[in-house]
Amino acid sequence: MNMKTVRQTAREKLKGFCRVCPECNGKVCAGEVPGMGGMGTGASFKNNVEALAAFRLNMRTMHGVKQPDTGYELFGQKLLTPILAAPITGNNFNMGGALNEKEWAESIIQGCLTSGSMGCTGDAPDPTMYFAGVDVITEAEGRGIPIMKPRALDEVIKCLRYAEKARALAVGMDIDAAGLVTMAVSPKTKEEMKEIISNTSLPFIIKGIMTVDEAELALEVGAAAIVVSNHGGRFLDHTPGTAEVLPEIAAAIGRQIPVLVDGGVRTGVDVLKMLALGADAVLIGRPLITAAYGGGAEGVALVIRRMTNELKQAMVLTGCATLNDINMDVLY
């Protein structure tokens, strides 16, 4: 299996929903929600890609870094790479349904495990989609992270208990999904988030942080990690790119909890940039849609390994032996 074959197969299976463009930048698919585009003008999606592309790297080659270590540890789980799979669901209405939710989750979770990574599963209007993902995590002996939408408290508790039963590595919430018109979801107050987090023994991840004040609030309510994310630009038009807001958020959090990020990450060089801007690890979404639809678990593993190798090469060419060596000095 190679990337050319994966992309050709994905283009056929995703026809009418994703064009599998040579450059996934949100320009052609702007406004295609449902689908794979960004909300409205697509500005948020495009801002993610453009903000990350705007950063340049300092090349350094007079050093002793020959075999860089991309190892990363999250909640006690040792990984070979800081590149994780973002939570995605809604195959029927966003991707055409060539894969059902269980097949999708199996491709992501198994592909991640094969490549030394970790996969997240997601949530959608039909709650069985969330449970299908958690079932796959159960089969993987808990090696996965289910992410739910900001549902009503009683529904959230059900989702938490299901994740606990699966012995998932962690659990989380897409708080940026609060405006979804297709679901009974809503913003959460500080008190509501405290109650939710206090109702589980699992590490709780808050995904959808785009400002310093909400990052600090996530710390206050007991989050075990945050994900800087505008949900791929799919919910609110005209937000900044995640690479623009990441440095300030990471500086405010320090090393108190892991800071993860998604948005516009397409290559291992992009991963290096996000780590230099303050992230501990990254989540990728759209590249793995192409991977899963084009090659199942093998395709997912292929993409993650390729990006990890690109990261290693970029670390050699910037003089970084470990992930801890990647900092703002890497950026021009």
Torsion of CA 262, 268, 271, 276, to 10 degrees: -170
68 near 127, Cβ under 8 Å?
A: no
Query: Count of CB atoms within 10 A of residue 66's CB?
Result: 7
- Active-site residue list: 231
Q: Which amino acid is at 143?
A: R
Alpha-carbon gap, residue 98 to 112, rounded angstroms? 20
- Asked if residues 289 and 98 have their Cβ atoms less than 8 Å apart, the reply is no
Site of tokens 């785009």: 210
Can you give the three-state secondary structure of 111-161, one letter per residue?
HHHHCCCCEEECCCCCCHHHHHHHHHHHHCCCCCEEEECCCCHHHHHHHHH
**Distance from the Cα of residue 69 to its chain's centroid:** 21
For residue 79, is it left (φ>0), alpha (ψ between -120 and 50) or beta?
beta
Joined tokens for residue 58: 């300092």
**Residue 285: alpha-carbon gap to chain centroid:** 6
